[in-house]
Amino acid sequence: MPTPPLAGGTAGPAHLRPLIDTVLTALHDGATRRNGPLPAGGPDTVTHHLHHTTGPLIPDQGTGAHHALRTLVTALAQGAADPAHPHCAAHLHTPPLALAAAADLAASALNPSMDSWDQAPAASALEAALTTALATEVYPHTPKPDSLITTGGTEANQLALLLARERHGPVQTICAANAHHSITRAAWLLGLPTPVVIPAPTGVMDLTALRDALLRNDGPLLVAATAGTTDTGRIDPLTDIADLTTTHGAELHIDAAYGGPLLFSPTHRHHLRSLHRAHSVTLDLHKLGWQPASAGILAVPDHHYLDVLHHHAPYLNADDDTDAGLPDLLGRSLRTTRRPDALKIAVTLQALGRNGLADLIDRTVASAHHLADLVDAHPALELHDHPTISTVLFRPTHTDDTTVATIRRTLLNQGHAVLGRARADDRLWLKATLLNPHTTPDDLQRLLTLVTHAHAGATKEGSTLR
């Protein structure tokens, strides 16, 4: 067997082109065979089909590039939960834009490693420009804001707590019951006190409980607020929270992994009023930014906040190299080797511009409001509340939590729809997290029809069993 060709260099594109054609055909064939938002049959069926189709993954004699690509990519596409399908709406799992995926291919082919300048000359300059630009979106009034690219909201939240710890020592975090689980996990990983969790009876942080917690706990204190909760998409009262933290001398971190991109929408950015008052902000552009994972951001109001992340490894950032002008990249992440995720983000922002991204956001939010209206008008369905961003909770009327869970699993096993689940007001709800700007009103109507049919089937089955 000849030595396989490489992706880089002047010859790389010619070697890639036929392989990409094979991949694109396999993606099409797999999606056609799936013919829906996810494969039917449930975990056992999907696993059996994958193993049967792909055969041994490490054979003695290789099958060749095109056969391997065709076999495995087709199998993966056929067995995928495809967020590009309008009925795949369970999670903050975005359908990536084609242009972002294409940029990601270039990043993979060039393979810059973002831990030293000599591995990523242009990529490091692009990342520096992008992180400054994104930080300026969050902190438009500070002279030198900065941001880091992370693997997502979880890593960004962990970095936020780490930076607070390095500024003040073992900070006591205060968050609400609606906060993302990564806040508590980050405190555990960093050896910090277990967060004080205050109530969120209406889905957002309770201000009276926050005031009491700030008075009751000794400093240093870090309040972690949320702009876009995982379950309902609600946004904490950021201005009131910022006022309280200022009054009581606490720091503020805002987890805007979901809601942060609303900054780009003139129609919806008012939801993020006072975001700039936080000492750190998490964004996640592989949610409401339509990027392939991963594309997280941690923004801070002053670049010196990040100085504590400096790390010295002579083979990557020798002092004399730094003194001679080679950029030191190790302080830009807790990771060493990392991909140039800046490229796909930069391509997307430049291609669409502010207006294009705002249009995607506005379309998506409008779809969620339309779905809520459809539910509200449906006699057999109950709406939890109108959406803040793009998450809609609903359930069939006059049913119990067991039936709601059964409906969700029925739709999954049939391959008809991917809906999430969320508990609110002591009841279980079906969760539609709309992130597909191509979703139409007819798509939404058909989704509700699938739910009502599944409910009828579950009700009939329950009556038969009784």
Q: What is the DSSP secondary-structure string of 410-452? A: HHHHHTS-B-EEEEETTEEEEEEE---TT--HHHHHHHHHHHH
Alpha-helical regions (H) of 310-377: 314-317, 319-323, 342-377
213, 174 contact by CB (below 8 A): yes
* CA-based nearest residue to 418, from 408, 428, 429: 408
Can you tell me the distance from the alpha carbon of 466 to that of 90, in angstroms, rounded to the nearest whole number? 31
Amino acid 356: pLDDT = 98
Phi-psi region of 223 (alpha: psi -120 to 50; beta: other; left: phi over 0): beta
236, 227 contact by CB (below 8 A): yes
Q: Tokens 């005031």 map to which residue?
A: 211
235, 203 contact by CB (below 8 A): no
Work out the number of other CB atoms within 10 angstroms of the CB of residue 234: 24
Amino acid 2: pLDDT = 87
Can you tell me the distance from the alpha carbon of 261 to that of 259, in angstroms, rounded to the nearest whole number? 6
- In this structure, the strands spanning 420-424 and 427-433 are antiparallel
139, 299 contact by CB (below 8 A): yes
Q: What are phi and psi of 299, to 5 degrees?
A: -105, 145
Give, for all 466 residues of the chain, the pLDDT tens digit.
789 999 999 999 999 999 999 999 999 999 999 999 999 999 999 999 999 999 999 999 999 999 999 999 999 999 999 999 999 999 999 999 999 999 999 999 999 999 999 999 999 999 999 999 999 999 999 999 999 999 999 999 999 999 999 999 999 999 999 999 999 999 999 999 999 999 999 999 999 999 999 999 998 999 999 999 999 999 999 999 999 999 999 999 999 999 999 999 999 999 999 999 999 999 999 999 999 999 999 999 999 999 999 999 999 999 999 999 999 999 999 999 999 999 999 999 999 999 999 999 999 999 999 999 999 999 999 999 999 999 999 999 999 999 999 999 999 999 999 999 999 999 999 999 999 999 999 999 999 999 999 999 887 766 554 4
Orientation angle between helical segments 98-110 and 12-34, nearest 10 degrees: 140
Amino acid 462: pLDDT = 62
- In this structure, the strands spanning 251-255 and 221-226 are parallel
Please list, in sequence order, all residues whose beta carbon lies within 8 angstroms of the beta carbon of residue 327, skipping any fewer than 6 positions away. 117, 124, 128
Amino acid 463: pLDDT = 54
Phi-psi region of 35 (alpha: psi -120 to 50; beta: other; left: phi over 0): left
Task: Say whether 106 sits in a helix, a strand or coil.
Answer: helix
**The one-letter amino acid at 390:** S
Q: Count the helices and strands in the chain (H runs, E runs).
A: 14, 11
Q: What are phi and psi of 412, to 5 degrees?
A: -65, -50
Can you tell me the distance from the alpha carbon of 192 to that of 163, in angstroms, rounded to the nearest whole number? 12
304, 277 contact by CB (below 8 A): no
Torsion on CA atoms 366, 367, 371, 377, rounded to nearest 10: 50
Q: For residue 265, is the peptide bond before it cis, meaning its omega torsion is within 30 degrees of 0?
A: no
Can you tell me the distance from the alpha carbon of 342 to that of 103, in angstroms, rounded to the nearest whole number? 10
Amino acid 458: pLDDT = 83
* CA-based nearest residue to 261, from 171, 138, 384: 138
Alpha-helical regions (H) of 111-206: 121-138, 153-168, 181-189
- In this structure, the strands spanning 391-396 and 381-383 are antiparallel
Query: Which whole-number Å values give the CA distances from 126 to 56, 132, 304, in the listed order?
Result: 41, 10, 20
Can you tell me the distance from the alpha carbon of 433 to that of 391, in angstroms, rounded to the nearest whole number? 4
Can you tell me the distance from the alpha carbon of 140 to that of 149, in angstroms, rounded to the nearest whole number? 19
- Joined together, the tokens standing for residue 67 give 């056969």
Please list, in sequence order, all residues whose beta carbon lies within 8 angstroms of the beta carbon of residue 353, skipping any fewer than 6 positions away. none
